[in-house]
Structure 1
Amino acid sequence: MPRTTTPPEPIEERIQDIDLSSEMQGSFLEYAYSVIYSRALPDARDGLKPVQRRILFQMAEMGLRPDRGHVKSARVVGDVMGKLHPHGDSAIYDALVRLAQPFALRLPLVDGHGNFGSLDDGPAASRYTEARLAPSSLALTESLDEDVVDFVPNYDGQFQQPSVLPAAFPNLLVNGASGIAVGMATNMAPHNLIEVVAAAIHLLEHPEATTEELM
């Protein structure tokens, strides 16, 4: 018998008349906001970009405290990529390496073991290096279980991650930051931890303090 098929139902015609200029402006702003908020620039509250925050959070979840042993960087990268940051292992490892380089950060947040590169040479592959949290990173992660920051779903809704780390010191000022987004960029120099904390305490006690007084 000949095979019969049911004709497809007619597709409802949906044609929208829009102004191209307005649509381009709106779409560009949405894209720019996504790049700024999700990738390129640090959050002033903890001084971290999303990938850096996810690395430190996942290492804390793995129990990689300064008094524990190092683990392979590849393991950290794999956990971060699988649970929190599905954007490729090289971007995650590059961020991890920078967090461990004393010439990149004034106060390194990761304690690296192995060849983490130099000013004129790159690091060894992630399968050869090892990492754990540096003592300074505990000031960013130790209050995560005290309900002081909001948690949000990860990219697929299976895990929770902090929207920001509960930083106990102004990491943005201490370690500085650099990033290029859409239509804007930042390049902040690092500062001395003791001087920054002293200035922060003075500002809390004297909210009307001038820049000259803080300096």
Structure 2
Amino acid sequence: MDISKLKIKYKELKALEDSDDGIFEFKNLLLKDDDEDVLQFHIDILNDRDDPYLVRDIRSFFSKRKDQKKVSAFIATKIKDGIENPLLKADLIQILGNLRSPLVKEIVHDEIKSANRDIRYRCIIVMGWVGTTMTDLDVLNERMINDEDGQLRGYAATAMRQIWYNKKSVKNRVTKYIKEAIESEKDPEALTGMIITLQDLHKKKLGIKESNYGDVSGDVQEAKLKAIKMLSKLK
């Protein structure tokens, strides 16, 4: 494909008052083939952050590409070769997760302790999508215990819940990890993630309500005490 045509079309799209008016025409041209120069252009325009809604659309278009094996390999190589922009790296990790690429686990294992919070966040979420092994659970447990951000510690717990949705046999391991962590945990967001995970795994009402949209409510400290009591009765 002639990349100059893509660049012209992208410039025209950016000039529109509302990018939605031209997004489908641009999408069709962008996805016409999976040549490496086209894939590189697709990645490059993710760096253009002026319009967050346009960035969201462009990121989502990767899942529409025809040769997803080639796309995954290309993105994985770019990440491993080194990307200076942490936001772009986080986006590419999320894209690989969305594609359920088998290449993403190794990258997540390497990046989940990144100094950049957004990269750690995307790695935690992606591991919840693609994790299947006890090693994957161990990686999330390490973040649930050690991440400096309480919200991310909570997300690590709910990522383990996501693995459980797909592999029920991990229930006891996840329960064990949360039991070891919950008593000393003080951050409300971390506790919330642990408690809603326990509620789902054990079909118990511990006092935290979670809406279909992910909103939570309830007395976290009271729910923590109920969770600890429930856990103490488990064999």
- How high is the TM-score relative to the length of structure 2? 0.26
Q: If each structure's strand is expressed as a fraction of its own residues, which one has the higher value?
A: 1
Considering fraction of residues, name the structure with more helix: 2
What's the TM-score, normalizing by structure 1? 0.27
Q: Which has the larger radius of gyration?
A: 1
Greater relative contact order structure (CA < 8 Å, 6+ sep): 1
